[in-house]
Amino acid sequence: MREPKKTSLLDWASHTLSGHIVFFRVAVGLPGFALLLFLHYSEGTLTVGRAIYVAFLVTIGALVIALLGWYTISLPLITNMRRK
């Protein structure tokens, strides 16, 4: 009987589009969200509406970065590795 292949979280994040999206939302989105909330709080302009807006912007930004990284860097590297 064949055992299932064990993969790590980093393998999943580097070899799938959904892994890229999740990884960049965690690696870029959460620190960016915390930084922007702190900056708005320190300026005294933090409201609930502003926090929701910042969360939306950070989510969209991380998604765009993940898609650009996938289609310009990771996908060509993966296809080149499979050809060899």
pLDDT along the chain (84 residues), means of 10: 70 87 91 96 96 96 93 90 82
Is there a domain that residue 73 lies in? yes
Is there a domain that residue 78 lies in? yes
pLDDT at 6: 67
pLDDT at 68: 94
73 is in which domain, residue-wise? 27-83
pLDDT at 84: 76
Is there a domain that residue 3 lies in? no
Is there a domain that residue 15 lies in? no
Is there a domain that residue 77 lies in? yes
Q: Which long-range contacts (CB under 8 A, 24 or more apart) does 28-32 make?
A: 28/58, 28/61, 28/62, 28/65, 29/58, 29/59, 29/61, 29/62, 32/58, 32/61, 32/62
pLDDT at 1: 59
User: If 0-12 CB within 10 Å is exposed, 13-18 middle and 19+ buried, where does residue 20 land?
Assistant: buried
pLDDT at 81: 85
Is there a domain that residue 54 lies in? yes
Q: How many domains does the chain have?
A: 1
> Measured between alpha carbons, how far is 66 from 58 in angstroms, rounded to an integer?
12
* pTM across the whole model: 0.78
